[in-house]
Structure 1
Amino acid sequence: MKKIFLLLSMCFVLTVGSAQNPVFTHVFTADPSPHVWPNDDRLWVYTSHDEPGSNNHYGMTGYHAFSTTDMVNWTDHGRILHLENVDWAESHAWAMDAAYYRGKYYLIYCMKEAGIGLFRTGVARSDRPEGPFTDLGYIKGVEFGQDPAIFIDDDARLPDGQGTPYLFWGHDRQCYGAELNDDLMSIKPETEVDLKPQLKYVFEGPWVHKYKGKYYLTYPGLTPRRWPEKMFYGVADKPLGPYEYKGCFIDDFEGQSGTNHGGIVTYKGKDIMFYHSAWLSGGLSETRCVMADYLRYDKEGNIIPIVPSKEGLANAKRTKTTLKLEAENGFAAGGDLYNVIVDTYIQDYSGRGYVTNFDNPYDHVSILAQVAKPSKYRFKVRYASPAGESNHNVLINSHQYRGFVFPPSETFTEIDFGIVELKAGDNLVRIFKSNWKPSKGQFAIDYIKLEQVFDDE
């Protein structure tokens, strides 16, 4: 049945135009986890990443973070965690969630443990919402921990005002929940609950949110084991249930992928459901894209069914994404720092610092940019060159752009170098010291930007 669905869905073709769905049109993304963090006016969405041209989900290896203040203009902060950054894992960087807990940002994700092949629920931490995230290991007490979601209640149990953390996970017609210990690295086994009997058609991907004192658990399900997945939900008085099954709120729709997975967030007073489809790829279920529609309730608190639309969040403008890739993140974000250092002396830098000490020919910083299809982007660099003009070359994959001149600038400033072309998949952008003209004094790179360019612009 799943193979038949995939063949039929290939007939669906989306014209992006001025549509707001899919939300991100430059990269294949899935399993969106939306959040609003304390003292931050941005809406954040964390996603898994599908490789262009893939015909399976086994090659998924990393995660991205996106942010916005208007739900029209988005920033892709690039790769925030990858399989190669997780020593205990061997494959399957599938669905994830995020949390702000006790002053730190956490990515709660799943990968298969090396040598065993079981899904584990990993925990990674960062001082910044955009990462990159450092792996801490996997949560103890969770067997086959696929599709994790973390829910932190508003019961303010801890002295710092944080509530009780709960973990939910599910796979292959299973769903579980448990309270986490304060370090988030293990569950309290006596609290574990098998939620399957309470959630009709449940298959995987649980997500919990709170509305008017009630706990809502949404999840992808099969009816019965008939692909593609629909989205269902149940309601409870407590985070771990018991849940009362309520029904389906995203039914079959044209261009959906075989799977669905999503999360719910309240931003600027409106509730939004993020989920995924196959619209961007024209119906290929292994190359998915994030969608968003407003979520509404009736007077009894029931979720009003969502019918996916090209309009999405109903803003007249189409969404546009800028890749903002911090130079200092290096290997953690898929790049490299060769014979250069990270410093913080020059003020007003973005992120955790900047890259400097381009003293010798071919000293360089490499930055990874991932895109879905061959596309044109406007290439900008934020730099400082306090002691005078500096000359560098740029290598994008195998194409070299020579003689980039950075005028003197005592403070960080952006410079626009025009249009460049990126290929589908991984693009390595390397900025290195020119060997034909010496640079004068300290030169620093803060970040690069790659802004989407549409054909009708």
Structure 2
Amino acid sequence: MKRKLLTSALVFFAVINLQAQNPIIKHIFTADPSPIVYKDTVFLYTGHDTASVTATNYKMPDWHVFSSTDMVNWKDYGALLSPSTFSWATGDAYAAQCIFRNGKFYWFVSTFHKNDENSKGGAAIGVAVSDSPTGPFKDAIGKALVINEMTKDKPHAWDDIDPTVFVDDDNQGYLFWGNGSCKWVKLKENMIELDGPITVLNPLHYIEGPWVYKRKDLYYLVYASAGTKPEMIEYCTATKPTGPWTYRGIIQDNVPNSFTTHPGIVDYKGKSYFFYHNGVLPTGGSYRRSICVDYMYYNADGTIKKIVQTTKGVAAVK
């Protein structure tokens, strides 16, 4: 009888495992998802956590690229970019986003600037470029696009992290980013130069990790919020990419076993998908995170329904 019960339990456990898709990447720890759709394939750009189980801070040496045509099976192309790609950079590979424009892929990344003649150090945003979604990528301009220098008043200079890039229907590009406050600026068509002054926003509860996109006639600014610890995901909407932005509320509650979360949103083959990270893999945690994906739904007025976090994840796309 004991052997029969044990066998039944193992079979039940195997069935549960087969049904559990989240996290979608299980062989390494990944964070800060950035999905795009290119030629009928979803490409997912991620951070890579390598901190030890007992670590009390991040260790993120590089960025990875994955792809899928069914939203369930993901191919890992390996570490295709790291701070060492940029001669001016040092430190960890924080959140990044890659987009396609004018035949090229522009990968906007956040890391730290070396203390040299160009900067006193601090968080900085760079951009890499490639002719392919899977590289090779190289530094597009040979210097940081945005620099946040450390000073006596700001010894850590975290402001300039977590870039998100959006190109509107009129072909105007925008860069949003920031920790503590949200900043935005127009980009020139070449995607490697700022085109005008930087504007600072203060959405309700905003802390970091913005994601900007347009759906129908509405613009969405989705972000990690500081209303609670751990973080949640909240959002605003606007009728123009420059605002004014109207606060709409919380769409994702705290994630398991991680005090951070990070949104990545994409439409693919008729459905909307919400990517995020948590810390639920064995030995996982706030510095050993894993990317998940669940469905995203909208109300008739364009507002976003609450994200339901699942272990099952999403069904395979035929």
TM > 0.5 fold call: yes
- The answer to which of 264-273 and 138-147 deviates more is 138-147
Corresponding residue for residue 240 of structure 2: 238
Amino acid of the structure 1 residue aligned with 2:252 = I
The answer to whether structure 1 residue 92 and structure 2 residue 92 are counterparts is: yes
The code of the aligned residue for 2:229 comes to W
1:352-363 matched pairs, under 5 angstroms: none
More moved, 138-147 vs 83-92:
138-147
With over 3 angstroms needed to count, the CA separation of the structure-2 counterparts of 1:97 and 1:296, relative to structure 1, is same
Paired residue type of 1:188: D
Return the letter of the residue paired with 1:165.
Answer: G
Amino acid at match of 1:72: V
Is residue 121–residue 148 contact of structure 2 (8 Å, CA) maintained in 1? no
Asked whether 1:111 is paired with 2:111, we answer: yes
Q: 1:218 aligns with which of 201, 222, 229?
A: 222
Tell me the amino acid that sits aligned with residue 285 of structure 1.
S
Which residue number corresponds to residue 149 of structure 1? 164
Q: Deviations over 1:17-60 (max 9, x none)?
A: 431110111111000001012xx111111001000525244421
How far residue 93 of structure 1 moved from its aligned partner, in angstroms, is 1.0
- Equivalent residue runs for 1:247-266 within 5 Å: 247-253=249-255, 255-266=256-267
> Which residue number in structure 2 is paired with residue 448 of structure 1?
none
Shift of residue 182 of structure 1?
Answer: 2.2
Aligned to 1:206: 210
Matches for 1:292-303 after TM superposition, within 5 Å: 292-303=293-304
**Partner secondary structure for residue 121 of structure 2:** coil
Please say if residues 273 and 294 of structure 2, whose CA atoms lie closer than 8 Å, have aligned partners that are also in contact.
yes
Matched, 1:178 2:178: no
Structure 2 vs 1, CA of residues 211 and 81 (structure 1 numbering), >3 Å: closer, same or farther?
Answer: same
Q: CA RMSD in A?
A: 2.0
Partner of 1:193: 199
What residue in structure 2 maps to residue 49 of structure 1?
48
Letter of the structure 1 residue corresponding to residue 162 of structure 2: D
Conservation of the 8 A alpha-carbon contact between 1:139 and 1:184: no
Verify: 1:29 aligned to 2:44, yes or no. Answer: no
Query: CA 1:256–1:286 in structure 2 vs 1: closer, same or farther (change >3 Å)?
Result: same
Name the amino acid aligned to 1:207: W
Aligned equivalent of 1:127: 131
| 8 Å CA contact retained: 2:123, 2:147 | no
CA contact (8 A) 1:219 1:233 kept: yes
Match of residue 269 from structure 2: 268
Q: Percent identity?
A: 40
Unaligned runs of 5+ in 2: 1-15, 150-158
Contact 1:250/1:305 (CA < 8 Å) preserved in 2?
yes
CA contact (8 A) 1:121 1:145 kept: yes
Q: What are the superposed Cα offsets for residues 111-165 of structure 1, whole Å, 9 maximum, x if unpaired?
A: 100113311110101111011311123215777421011111122xxxxxxx111
Q: Distance in 1 between matches of 2:57 and 2:299?
A: 37
CA distance, structure 1, for counterparts of residue 65 and residue 147 of structure 2: 28
Q: TM-score, normalised by structure 1?
A: 0.60
Shift of the 281–288 alpha-carbon distance from structure 1 to 2, 3 Å rule, reads: farther
| Counterpart residue type for residue 99 of structure 1 | I
Q: In structure 2, how many angstroms separate the alpha carbons of the residues matched to 1:228 and 1:47?
A: 21
Work out the CA distance in 1 between the residues paired with 2:316 and 2:280: 19
Q: Deviations over 1:194-237 (max 9, x none)?
A: 111xx1100001111111110000000011xx310000000001
Contact 1:167 1:178 in 2 (8 A): yes
8 A contact 1:29–1:289 mirrored in 2: yes
**Unaligned residue ranges in structure 1 (runs of 5+):** 1-14, 156-162, 317-457
C-alpha separation in 2, matches of 1:141 and 1:114: 11
- Counterpart-to-counterpart distance in 1, 2:209 and 2:127: 17
Q: d(CA) in 2 for partners of 1:140 and 1:220?
A: 21
Give the letter for the 1:195 counterpart. L
Report the alpha carbon displacement of residue 278 of structure 1 after superposing the two structures with TM: 0.4
One-letter code aligned to 2:192: M
Q: Which residue of 2 aligns with 1:393?
A: none
Question: Is 141-150 or 128-137 further displaced after alignment?
Answer: 141-150
Structure 2 residue identity aligned to 1:150: V
Contact 1:205-1:220 within 8 A present in 2 as well: yes
Q: What's 1:334 paired with?
A: none
Please say if residues 175 and 195 of structure 1, whose CA atoms lie closer than 8 Å, have aligned partners that are also in contact: yes
Structure 2-normalised TM-score?
A: 0.85
Structure number with larger C-alpha Rg: 1
Partner SS for 2:259: coil
Match of 1:165 among 173, 176, 181: 173
Contact residue 105 and residue 127 of structure 1 kept, 8 A: yes
**Residue deviations 1:51-80, cap 9 Å, x none?**
052524442121000101111221101011
Deviation of 1:281 after TM superposition, in Å, equals 3.7
Q: Assess, with a 3 A threshold, how the Cα gap between structure 1 residues 129 and 141 changes in structure 2: closer, same or farther.
A: same
CA distance in 1, matches of 2:70, 2:52: 31
Alpha-carbon spacing, 1:303–1:63, altered in 2? closer, same or farther (3 Å):
same
Corresponding letter in the other structure for 1:176: K
Q: What secondary structure does 1:84 align onto?
A: helix
> What letter is aligned with 1:206?
P
Counterpart of 1:24 in 2: which secondary structure? coil
Contact residue 167 and residue 177 of structure 1 kept, 8 A: yes
Shift of 1:103: 1.0
Q: Which amino acid aligns with 1:252?
A: N
Among 216, 230, 235, the residue aligned to 1:228: 230
Contact 1:20 1:315 in 2 (8 A): no
